[in-house]
Structure 1
């Protein structure tokens, strides 16, 4: 390992550095300053950008918003630099690029694990593990892994996903790493996969998710905001982060729903992606700062 990190001067230099010095990727991860463990006691704000690896490129009404990697990285760097942003959730490609840029220094970093259920594909609900595994999360020096868990009782692929997710929770727990599980009750309607965002369906999914693996000592949940949020959150004692979704035309209502949900004791913060990176009006800084302010730190 080299004595110091070799960082590219700009996003446009990443390809050259990757081609001429692949070891720089490993050094950037191994030598980055780590997130302080005691900071997990405060409300957290994490930026998420694992959508592209599942072919989900839409944001803010633009079906290809996340397709340009250089633009996406620039927006991630801008967001991660804001005060109060604690960490990042992404696949290895984005984690490594951002580590090379120094954008993950002192951040909590979670690796996205199962991205195989490509959006719109005939096999979309086959959420097999094509990203990080538990060993890879540990080798990269990350703080944990994130698992998507879409549960459709009518689809046989769900059983395989449940089994794989349980093994991933076990693998992360054995390595003393966080397992962030994102459960949904899912159905296929008119040929499209839909998450059923109601309190009863989310409670059903939460109960299944928190039963995965031989220990839940390091399991957190990542859940959507739904109507009757307090009732829904009564389904778990696990620390929970709120997800943001694709965004919409009513940002004020969105922020207010997050603010109310953050008052629930189990809710430990926000893990938001597209609504921060591609906000209405395009102002990433204003969107991130508004979301961070909701944490009341």
Structure 2
């Protein structure tokens, strides 16, 4: 009896094919919301909760009134939510790898990084949803969008670029961590200090010397929050936007090759 061997289809490495395949993977991730509406609820409740709590619990103490504090803190709340939400990339990737989803992707004739990039793009769409929800609610409760639509779009672009860069750190974290609990633990160990030792929620002038120097010179969240705040409020951005973009480029340059190497090693 002769065994018929059917060769595996060649991997689609062309640019247009990779784009289609990446979008298909991203759509697979997004369409799961239709079958699990609780996922959309998770994306909506946390941003709303953070916004209302910071505005109405801390606003009077920090700035004299909730609306006045909202003018300063909205950018910081958005940035913090983006940083925390980006951890979903690490958790989701880890879960998919452990469940064998990426083993099935590996059998498909697609370039190896396509499933990973598709997952990241889907998470960016979720980030945009959360940002729009927070800004819309902030306007309803008294935030004046002095930066206008162009300022809002520029702030959105800045946050998406920075979040994309951070995604490679999260991919590496998701691939190296031994469990979803460890992914979240290590993620919060990174995200929490960066958020609260920055200008996201308080002005750096109130910080003691060493912490003030760190916040103003080395903490990337300070530059991201300052740039987002200036774009939303229509005030001069100074160098905060360019420094944020430089930080994003540096993070991507460092962690993209490390994440790609870890991804290939995990699925080899």
TM over 0.5: no
Query: When the two structures are superposed, what TM-score results if normalisation uses the length of structure 2?
Result: 0.26
TM-score relative to the length of structure 1: 0.24
Which is greater in Rg?
Answer: 2
User: Would you tell me which structure has more helix in proportion to its own residues?
Assistant: 2
